[in-house]
């Protein structure tokens, strides 16, 4: 059904009839011009489903761009910092891309169908960036955000749910692989990817197939603790997984007004995605090479294990002399880890050479009054939660 969009400020996703039915709280937010639930019932319950059963999230608003043409592979390799020259068909790769100053614009995933067809997914809109970058390459960029309905199916029982739904032999799919299925007469692409740091899949199909898919997955997951989950629960899981969020953990280079707020990959823990020895040029290579050679990296993004149980939302981080050395970008009391964790952007050498005597100043709200807590922090790996089942092949199955 085509919607009359003339008077609606925000678009509805093809799953809207189902997500609105599942919503008990009427809490929605604007994601790339779509209205999608922040929370369906309670965030904690949704989080629990993601960690113990299956969680379903409407991913449709995520920016999706199809890159086709003779130079598609070459172009993708040029666009991102990671060396993708050896990328195989039907695989997915996690990527970041930078501007000419070597500052990160966004992160995302790239799907390779063939050397002439790719799909790029990311949180923000980057059509203009892609198009301007593509000048001189034989590629066509099309924004397919509205023409592909997408769901995230995450959690320990997600493989079983999708198998019951009709995805035969799904357990053999390795992490960062994808496979085409024909289910109920519709083409469905399933990739073993996700943003929760757990076993999980993402599902891509025609918007016409959206409602049917949602209904059938709900039926398939009935006995497997399936629950729709919203952005708030996703935020909890992604912090536990140590995944970064653009404009939360760092400012997108194209969006930040102050040049000093832009971050290089090395400053947000993404140095492993920068391949300076890549044979060909990539956007930002010159600047990144210089940064590496001259060791001018100023900050770092680290995981913090914080004393106590009060989440350090937005806390300023200090050294023992009470000098300001950074800020918490995301924080959470992790139910599964039973730990008070946070991601923090610190001024080097703190977080790299100096990991001791770091403190967070936490303002804990208690009924219109703040309790000020001075909590000791331990610098730890950003990936707080990384269960074995996440990368296990074949994936765990449940009945």
Partner 1 sequence: MSGNSSFDAIIIGGGHNGLVCANVLARKNKRVLICEARKECGGMVNNDITNYVPPVTSAVSSSIGGMQINYIPKTSIALSETGQHIRLVGNQHIDHKSISRFSSHDADRFNDFHEKMSKFSKTLGSFMMASPPRIMNNSFSDYFKLFKLGLNVRLLGKKNFNEFARMIGLNIADELEDNFENTLLQGLIAHDSVIGSNLGPRSPGSLINLLYRMAIHNNSLFGGIFQIDGGNDQFTKHLIEKCKSNNVEIKTSASVKNCIIENDCAVGVELNNGEKMYAKKIISNADPRSTYFSLLGSQNLDTDVKRKIKHHRSKGRVAKLILELDKLPSFNNCDDIDLDSRMVIAPSIDYIEETFNPSKFDKLSLEPTLEICVKKDSDQDPKLDIQVQYAPYKTHQGWENIKESYVESIIKIISKYAPNINECIERKKLLTPDDIESEYNVSGGHWHHGEIQIDQLFMMRPIPGASQYKTHLDGLFMCGAGTHPGGGLIGISGKNAAKAVLDDF
Phi-psi label, residue 342: left if phi above 0, alpha if psi -120 to 50, beta otherwise: beta
Structural contact between residues 51 and 155, judged by C-beta atoms closer than 8 angstroms: yes
The residue with tokens 């050395």 is 325
| Residue with Cβ nearer partner 1 (289 or 347) | 289
Told to check if 115 binds partner 1 by CB under 8 A, we report no
Half-sphere exposure (CA, 13 Å, Cβ side) for 307? Answer: 10
Instruction: Give min distance, CB of 253 to partner 1, in A.
Output: 10
Told to check if 132 binds partner 1 by CB under 8 A, we report yes
Q: Compute CA distances 258 → 251, 252, 263, whole Å.
A: 10, 11, 11
Q: Which residues pair with 39 in a beta bridge?
A: 27
Told to check if 283 binds partner 1 by CB under 8 A, we report yes
| Residue with Cβ nearer partner 1 (233 or 283) | 283
Instruction: Give min distance, CB of 145 to partner 1, in A.
Output: 21
d(CA 65, CA 143): 5
What is the dihedral sign for C-alpha 68, 71, 77, 83? Answer: positive
Piece of 42-50, 128-136, 228-236, 338-346 that binds partner 1 (CB under 8 A): 128-136
d(CA 394, CA 45): 28
- Work out which of 1, 2, 6, 135 binds partner 1, going by CB under 8 A: 135
Instruction: Give min distance, CB of 176 to partner 1, in A.
Output: 26
| Residue with Cβ nearer partner 1 (11 or 103) | 103
Told to check if 298 binds partner 1 by CB under 8 A, we report no
Which of 159, 116, 330 has the alpha carbon at shortest distance from 238? Answer: 330
Q: Which residues pair with 380 in a beta bridge?
A: 303
Instruction: Give min distance, CB of 260 to partner 1, in A.
Output: 13
Told to check if 261 binds partner 1 by CB under 8 A, we report no
Piece of 177-185, 231-239, 261-269, 278-286 that binds partner 1 (CB under 8 A): 278-286
Told to check if 65 binds partner 1 by CB under 8 A, we report no
Told to check if 319 binds partner 1 by CB under 8 A, we report no
| Residue with Cβ nearer partner 1 (252 or 283) | 283
| Residue with Cβ nearer partner 1 (97 or 204) | 97
Instruction: Give min distance, CB of 249 to partner 1, in A.
Output: 23
Piece of 112-120, 130-138, 176-184, 224-232 that binds partner 1 (CB under 8 A): 130-138
Told to check if 118 binds partner 1 by CB under 8 A, we report no
| Residue with Cβ nearer partner 1 (263 or 285) | 285
Structural contact between residues 146 and 191, judged by C-beta atoms closer than 8 angstroms: no
Told to check if 63 binds partner 1 by CB under 8 A, we report no
Which of 237, 147, 247, 169 has the alpha carbon at shortest distance from 199? Answer: 237
- Work out which of 2, 4, 136, 294 binds partner 1, going by CB under 8 A: 136
- Work out which of 28, 31, 137, 250 binds partner 1, going by CB under 8 A: 137
Structural contact between residues 59 and 110, judged by C-beta atoms closer than 8 angstroms: no
Instruction: Give min distance, CB of 281 to partner 1, in A.
Output: 4
DSSP assignment, residue 81?
S
Instruction: Give min distance, CB of 79 to partner 1, in A.
Output: 8
DSSP string, 143-196: E-GGG-EEEEEESTTHHHHHHHHT-TTGGGPPTTBEEEEEETTEEEEEES--SS
How many residues at the interface with partner 1, by CB under 8 A? 17
Q: Which of residues 72-91 bind partner 1 (CB under 8 A)?
A: 74, 78
Structural contact between residues 110 and 311, judged by C-beta atoms closer than 8 angstroms: no
Q: What angle do CA 160, 165, 169 make, to 5 degrees?
A: 60
Told to check if 31 binds partner 1 by CB under 8 A, we report no
Binding site for partner 1 (CB under 8 A): 74, 78, 99-100, 129, 132-133, 135-137, 280-281, 283-286, 289
């Amino acid at each position: 059904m085509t919607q009359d969009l003339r008077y609606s400020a925000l678009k509805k996703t093809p799953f809207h009839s189902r997500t609105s039915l599942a919503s008990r709280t009427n809490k929605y937010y604007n994601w790339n011009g779509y209205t999608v639930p922040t929370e369906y019932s309670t965030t904690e319950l949704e989080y629990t489903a993601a960690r113990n059963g299956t969680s379903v999230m409407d991913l449709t608003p995520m920016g999706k761009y199809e890159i086709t043409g003779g130079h598609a592979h070459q172009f993708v390799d040029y666009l991102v910092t990671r060396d993708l020259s050896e990328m195989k068909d039907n695989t997915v790769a996690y990527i970041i891309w930078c501007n000419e100053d070597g500052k990160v614009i966004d992160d995302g995933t790239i799907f390779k169908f063939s050397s002439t067809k790719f799909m790029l997914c990311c949180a923000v809109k980057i059509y203009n960036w892609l198009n301007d970058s593509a000048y001189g390459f034989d590629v066509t960029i099309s924004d397919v955000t509205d023409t592909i309905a997408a769901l995230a199916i995450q959690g320990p029982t997600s493989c079983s749910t999708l198998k019951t739904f009709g995805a035969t032999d799904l357990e053999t799919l390795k992490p960062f692989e994808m496979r085409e299925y024909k289910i109920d007469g519709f083409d469905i692409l399933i990739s073993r990817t996700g943003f929760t740091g757990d076993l999980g899949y993402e599902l891509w199909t025609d918007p016409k197939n959206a409602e049917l898919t949602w209904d059938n997955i709900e039926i398939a997951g009935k006995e497997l603790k399936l629950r729709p989950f919203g952005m708030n629960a996703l935020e909890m899981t992604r912090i536990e997984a140590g995944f970064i969020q653009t404009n939360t953990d760092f400012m997108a280079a194209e969006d930040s007004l102050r040049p000093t707020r832009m971050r290089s990959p090395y400053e947000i823990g993404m140095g492993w995605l920068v391949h300076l020895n890549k044979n060909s040029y990539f956007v930002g290579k010159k600047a990144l090479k210089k940064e590496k050679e001259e060791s001018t990296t100023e900050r770092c993004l680290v995981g913090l294990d914080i004393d106590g149980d009060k989440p350090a939302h937005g806390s300023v981080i200090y050294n023992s002399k009470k000098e300001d050395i950074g800020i918490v970008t995301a924080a959470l009391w992790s139910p599964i880890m039973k730990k008070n964790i946070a991601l923090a952007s610190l001024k080097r050498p703190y977080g790299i050479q100096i990991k001791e005597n770091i403190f967070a100043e936490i303002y804990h709200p208690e009924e219109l009054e703040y309790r000020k807590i001075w909590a000791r922090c331990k610098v730890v790996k950003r990936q707080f939660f990384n269960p074995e089942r996440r990368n296990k092949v074949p994936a765990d199955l449940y009945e």
